[in-house]
Structure 1
C-alpha cells in the first residue's frame, strides 16, 4: 500500500454551513484569525415603515475558508455545522484556485449594489461568449457574457464551477473583447 502525502498548503475551500449560520461561522473564523469570505449583497426591507438597506449573505449557507487540510479538519471538529462542498461528478472537495478566488472577491468590492448572484445551475453558459473587460471599473476581468434573470441586458458572469456565479454590473459593449476566438 502506497502512503500518499497530503500537501499542507493553504487553499480556498468552498464550504456549506447548516441552518443559515454563514455569519456565525464567519464570526467564529474571524475570532480564530482564519481567513474566510462570505459573498454579500444588499437587501432592502421595511422596518417601522422605513426602508432599511442591509448587507446580507448573497447565497445562504455558503462560506469560503482559506486553510490547509489539517487545520480544516480541526475546524470542522470544532464547528460541526461546517461542511465541505463536493463536486457532484468526482466527489472531490471543491478547492478554488487562488487567482480565481481573488478575482471573485474583487468583483464584489468594485460594485456591490449592481451585481447579481446566482447558483451555477441558474445560468446557461453554453449560450454565452467568453470576454475580457478592457476598460471601466472591471478592467482586466474575464467571464462569460450571457443573459441572466433579473437583468435587461447581457452581463459578464464570473463563476466558481459548481458553487456560485456572480453577474457584474451592466458593462458597455465597447469595453468588452472576445477571448479565445
Structure 2
C-alpha cells in the first residue's frame, strides 16, 4: 500500500539526499484541514521572504476504495490525517512562525524544549513512497497515524458510523483494536487503519 502513496505535487525533484542543509519534519495539524494549512504555511513563508529555508510542504495522499451506499467509490484520502511533511532548515524563529500559523498544533516528536526533531532518512523514503513493499514489510519502524487512547470514527464495515477508542495498535499488521459501545456494552473491534478516521 505504501508504494502507492501519491504525493500531492506533480514534480518532486528535490529529494532529501540532495538537500543536506534541509531536513524533513512532520507538522501536526488539525485533521481535515491539511491542504488548507499547507497553503497557509507556503503563503506565510513566502510573505516573510523565507523561501530559502523551506523547500517543500507536502500532504501525502493515496487513492482508496470506500463503500458508500453499497457501491465502491474511489477517492483521494490523506494518508496521515493531521500530519504535513515539510523539508526545511528550521533555524531561528522559523519553527515558531510555523507553529503560530492557524490550525497548526506543533511538530511531531518535539523535545521538551520545543525543538522539532527531524525524520530519519528511512522514514522520509517510506513516506515519499521510495522503498519497495518488501523492504517496508521488513522494517517495522513506521509512523503510525493513530495513538492509543485516541477517539476515532468507524467509516467502513458493519459498524460504520460508530465512535470508539483506540485500545491497541498492531504495527506489523497495521490494524487497530478499537473499543466501541454496542447496545450499551463495550466491544473490541479489530480494524485496519483505512476503516477508521480521526474525529
Instruction: Please tell me the TM-score bracket, short chain as reference.
Output: 0.3 to 0.5
- Could you state the TM-score of these two structures normalised by the residue count of structure 2? 0.42
- Could you state the TM-score of these two structures normalised by the residue count of structure 1? 0.45
